Structures are given as structure tokens and as C-alpha cells.
Amino acid sequence: MSRVDVTRKAPWIRGLQMLIFALLFALAEVVLWAATVLQFGWILFTGRRNDQIAGFGEDLADWLARCARFQTGATEDKPFPWGRWGRG
């Protein structure tokens, strides 16, 4: 990844976006906990993992990573809902 110049944009706009993503990140943590509990229950009762939950977990992990990169200024690429969702 290349370095980006965040001073070109209005810093208050980026700050507002960072605040929104911080709130969405906290919500995503709750969703991660729910997916974890669901997957554990699925494994407990069926003896195997649920591929849909696992796939969603991979997409959520990708979103969290892209969100962290935007939050820390490593990139200007915004994650969902301004960017794409998922790995594909």
C-alpha cells in the first residue's frame, strides 16, 4: 500500500467518517460474538461447522481489517457501506 495524503481532504469529513466506522466496528464486534455463539452451537449439536456462518465470518474479518486500515490512515479506501462488502 502506498502512503496517502489525508490533508488534501477536509479533515472534519474524514473525522466524521472515522467516527461512523468506529461505531460500526463496535457493532461488528457484537455481530462477531453472535456468529461465534451460533457456530459453536452448530458444531456442538451437529458435529460439523456451518459453512454459511464460516463464510460470513471470513467476510466480516475482511471488513474489520479494511476498517482498521482506514481508521489508522493506512489507506483512503473506505469499507462497506461506502465500499464493497466481502472478499470477492
Alpha-carbon distance of 28 to 3, in angstroms, equals 27
pLDDT at 71: 94
Residue 72 counted as domain residue: yes
Is residue 16 one of the residues assigned to a domain?
Answer: no
pTM of the predicted structure, to 2 decimals: 0.80
Domain that holds residue 46: 23-88
Packing angle, helices 51-71 and 11-46, rounded to 10: 160
Confirm whether 61 is domain-assigned. yes
pLDDT recorded at residue 3: 56
Q: Is residue 40 part of a domain?
A: yes
pLDDT score, position 83: 81
Number of domains comprising the chain: 1
- The pLDDT tens digits for 55-80 are 999 999 999 999 999 999 999 999 98
Asked if pLDDT for residue 88 goes beyond 70, the answer is: no
Tell me if 17 is assigned to some domain: no
Residue 1 CA to residue 75 CA, distance in Å, equals: 7
Asked if the structure places residue 42 within a domain, the reply is yes
Q: How far apart are CA 21 and CA 49, in angstroms?
A: 30
